Structure 1
Amino acid sequence: MSLKLNVIIGSTRPGRAGPSIGKWVAEHAKKHGKFDVELVDLADFNLPLLDEPNHPRMQKYEHEHTKRWAESVASADAYIFVTPEYDYFPSAAVINALQTLAVEWSFKAAGIVSYAYVSGGLRAAQELRLLMSNLNMMPIPATVPIPFFPNFIDENKVFNPTDPMNDGLTASLDQLHTWASALKAGR
């Protein structure tokens, strides 16, 4: 049973670190070998703030950007959200992207790689997990926090993880695969 994983870059801010960290997550997930992996950048969808007139549960999308976003989300069995922590919370872009849809997220597993300074984004990850649960997703317990993230991005914008970061991501991918397999069978 082949499973598809979308690694979602959850920041659209200029100068963001998300693409560097997201690329590492996607490459690591490909080497992990248990998922077909797609790197998805929220900036490519240009999602406005909740601009659909109908509730997302109805899936009556009128705007092309929402239709493209729904297709991308529906195509995956699992997700890893790569999110910064802004003011002890996930980015507004990732919250909006989650709330734009409903049905497409249901009965799918999700993991989080968070980044910030001292906290490593753990406060944002905890808030994000609550929203995921409310959208009928299974947020896995394993989270990969990256504290002081600028220290790991070189002048070429390449993220250089530590061994514990790599080990944590591997453990998260193992957990994500277990849950995604079970949930796919139940969908």
Structure 2
Amino acid sequence: YDRSQARGRPFYYFAFGAACVEVVVDTLTGEYKMLRADILHDVGDSLNPAIDIGQVEGGFIQGMGWLTTEELVWNAKGKLMTNGPASYKIPAVADMPLDLRVKLVENRKNPEDTVFHSKAVGEPPFMLGIAAWCAIKDAVASMADYKVQPDIDAPATPERVLWGCEQMRQAAAQQQSAEQELETVTH
């Protein structure tokens, strides 16, 4: 790969994955629970499916935590205040989806000449955690019949989710008011 020309082959191979997450959101508090996650991931010709499934689970939970609980807070002097287990919330057992299902893509060996045609699986599943953040936003959007999307920045802490719920309440009220006004005009 020639970086200056942006030409060539920067990656030896690609690993693919997909995740779908089901959540329930308490619209009065902003708290949520991950009910289920289904993940399909490509690891090439797996050397050890049990280890690969564990790696996918771990990467997904790490990514889910990054987008839902792991909030970085700095003080006015720029010092990181969330720098330890007392102030930085990583995902715990209670944050895990109640039903976590992982499957590996079958009969798809890596076409590249890797060890037994396997693929690395340590980091790629990390990005599948975005499915949890999207599921939370989608659940909150249901409050306004999916006609608008809430502004919920990552990480989707309960406070940010509650702000999103308030946005949807306001959007739904405005929508109802506009519909009533239109109905009045047409009669």
TM-score after normalising by structure 1: 0.26
Higher Cα Rg, which structure? 2
Normalising by structure 2, what TM-score? 0.26
Q: Which has the bigger relative contact order, CA under 8 A and spacing at least 6?
A: 2
Q: Give the structure with the higher percent helix.
A: 1
Pick the structure with more strand per residue: 1
